[in-house]
Amino acid sequence: MDELNRLMDAWVEATQGKRTATHSVVGRDRADSTHVVEIVEFPSHEEAMQNSHLPETEGIFREMLDLCEGEPSFTDLDVMRDEQLNKIVVRSYFEDVINPRNIDGMDGMCTCDYREHSPAMSSYDLGLAQAKAETKEITAALRPELTVESMVAEGEMVCVRLSVKGRHVGTFAGVEATGKEISGTGQITFRCEGGRLAESWWNMDERGVLEQVGALKG
């Protein structure tokens, strides 16, 4: 494995700015330590072929042969289904909890020791019950509808870029309802655990919203 990793590192360095591969995973069979599988992801079959024809790829392949008992076997796969399951949980949080203001839905979606970190809340470290209570107040006052603009997942972490629209219909930050429409952007990072939300870090344009409802002067 040390030699294989050395070859992979050498290929990554040699193909910088040339390769079309976007993701690589190397795994070893737990039942047979001599059986190693590498999965390499490409945007398309054409780009995979382009990558294969790189002289650097050919050179590394020849060195890899020396590490193998016989020729490696290849399988050219078409992706039929590709789901990052934690993304589904995060998207459901917005679609099934925040936007319809079903805040009690957090009980089934979050772990019992869920922690929420947001400078807009009373504390930067809230437990589930307090996070629910303060989220109810905010959603009742602003009627926000959050739209996922992009989402990136890696391991247990999911990062979301959002846009938000709403209307100031209740007391927010000490300001009585103005009926004004509000809009903004934000980014949230979630940590998932066992198919549930375990922790979140919020960075929303709170100052922009305060200016829009008249709590601050621009």
| Predicted confidence pLDDT, tens digits, the chain (218 residues) | 888 889 889 989 999 998 999 988 999 999 998 899 989 999 999 999 998 899 998 888 888 888 888 888 888 888 887 778 999 999 999 999 999 999 999 999 999 999 999 998 999 999 999 999 999 999 999 999 999 999 999 989 999 999 999 999 999 888 899 999 999 999 999 999 999 999 999 999 888 888 888 877 65
How many domains does the chain contain in total?
2
**Would the pTM count as exceeding 0.75?**
yes
Sort strands 110-117 and 196-204 into parallel, antiparallel or unpaired.
parallel
State the DSSP string of 81-96: ----HHHHHHHHIIII
Q: Kindly state whether residue 22 falls inside one of the protein's structural domains.
A: yes
Q: Are residues 106 and 182 in the same domain?
A: yes
Domain assignment present for residue 73? The answer is no
Q: Domain range for residue 135? A: 85-212
Q: Is residue 117 part of a domain?
A: yes
